Structure 1
Amino acid sequence: MLEYNIDLNGKTILVTGAAGFIGSNLVRRLLKDFDKIKVIGIDSIADYYDVRLKYERLKEIESLSKEWTFIKGSIADKPLVEDVFIENKIDVVVNLAAQAGVRYSITNPDSYIESNLIGFYNILEACRHHTVEHLVYASSSSVYGSNKKIPYSTDDKVDNPVSLYAATKKSNELMAHAYSKLYNIPSTGLRFFTVYGPAGRPDMAYFGFTNKLKKGEKIQIFNYGNCKRDLTYIDDIVECLIRVMQHAPEKSLGEDGLPNPPYAVYNIGNNSPENLLDFVRILQEELVSAKVLPADYDFEAHKELVPMQAGDVPITYADTTPLEQDFGFRPHTPLRHGLRNFAQWYASYYGTNENSK
């Protein structure tokens, strides 16, 4: 196991995408677990999905601590990013701000270039000119494209993205590597595999399925149900982030006298792909148990098996061996446990089937 070389107590942490699903959960954990920590959050509150959910997440953070500063703005705004670094001595940066979603990137490419490329470049430039101890950033399992070798390893070649979203995330890794090499900036990229849980993103399958089923609409199951996904519960994602933040890749010199890039990439996944039809069955059972759906709900009448969509892949499967070796942890939350927590949250936030009668 690696030894921690960063003490987060008393540090100033910048979290971009702080009103997002992962960002807000990370901020809450940082404020709860570390002493005298100051957290600065940036988020543009984009309307890609219902912004009320984002404001609800921010409200929960505000109830925790006064050592929390929120800035509404985009990391694509270079003067804004620069001002944040000038006005605060940022010790660690966690870049989670990004335009997410594979399918959305097919019809709305501009937002991906602005946030995922220009925005990330602005963060790298700020880290370059204002010394930070560690840059941790979100990559994605999408970089593996239609890779036939499973499980996916960070040693695999990932030069054939099948969506613009995937291409931007691979670009982030390349940009971070270049900045680590040129400017000796310690950086760690995390390839997240399908993150889910309470108060998650409504565009994700489990959330979208729930909304449709509750309205009595049909859900479409792609590739006729012959898909497998490595689904990763939000608490496991945050635990990995906390551990990774506390170890920056070591700086060293190469034989040429120039810095070796202090750079690392890890898979963050459950290492256990779930068949899409099994996933839907468990979700339905938990929605009935939480009374989001009635006990006599006719599931078969609300399912439609359809072909694969452009940009999708048949399987995602994370090799998390390096993560476990270096940090003594890998995501492990069972799917039923995670979906149960989601269903119970959904019932409390949106109401049960009984409330809607």
Structure 2
Amino acid sequence: MNSEFIEALDQICKDKGIPKDTMFEAIEAALVSAYKKNYGTAQNVKVKMDRETGDVKVYAQKTVVENVYNDLFEISLEDAQKLSKKYQVGDVVDIEVTPKSFGRIAAQNAKQVVVQRIREAERGIVYEDFLSKESEIVTGIVERIERKNVLVDLGKAEATLTPNEQIPNETYNHGDRIKVYIVEVKKTTKGPQILISRSHPGLVKRLFEMEVPELQQGIVEIRSISREPGSRTKMAVYTKDENVDPVGSCVGYKGARVQAVVNELKGEKIDIVKWSSKPQEFVTNALSPAKVLSIDIDEKEKIARVVVPDYQLSLAIGKEGQNVRLAAKLTGWKIDITSESASKS
């Protein structure tokens, strides 16, 4: 090891944001293992690397005792005081045992540690970067498809879009640019594991925030979303500002804002309704586009019993019950729908 190595180490630590002492401690710990492995010793040893010159020295550590029973770990008080009068029983003495050939082994191991620490630091930087993007949208490029999993290049890292997180019937091809929602970022020994989704309701929320300035400014809020990916989404919006139409803000002029989101979601239908703190009003809005004649609320059971015109019954329930199912999820109320004629019989 030499001063050139120390200069290079200084630069690496600066570039990668790794504390210099952390790097030296890691190298010294690795050199202890290398010494024991190469010289087959059971001694207690420590390795010190000079922070200025890079010189490496190995020291056997021995405890000062009155009577020596194991000279690998112990040194007599008499022998210790030959080295320095300051030593007393119970002290630990460092005795240099650096082998002549240790420089080559040290250089090799130091290099391995530096490479490993750089890799760990880079993983840490990527982890922190993506952790700050949890619950956000990022754009990635489809790399390849493996057993229905879509591998997406996010720039500094790769993430897997699993079948459960894909939009049903959406096709992905190599080179496609797609927007994905970061659900969670986990730290693993192989680097950050980034869980992404195209089916998460949060994707719809973030897409609207990108399109609607009133949402970005906090004038309009998205209070709840219920979604059946690839098919239909219901979104409840609210504003405190009486001069602002929250639904109109999200729909946009001639439907431009909502259409931009629909296009990104490959044609998924989106119903935007007005949120209300009054259950009757909120459930009525949530069942849109169906018209509601009357609604009876059971607060205890949290059931909303709704009556609709006969010709609106199938619209209120929706294809395969989708409209009422999404409305129930959006409002948090169980919804029972009855036609006008059935309610009178």
Asked if these proteins are the same fold (TM beyond 0.5), I'd say: no
For normalisation by structure 1, the TM-score amounts to: 0.23
TM superposition score normalised by structure 2: 0.24
- The structure with higher relative contact order (CA 8 Å, sep 6+) is 1
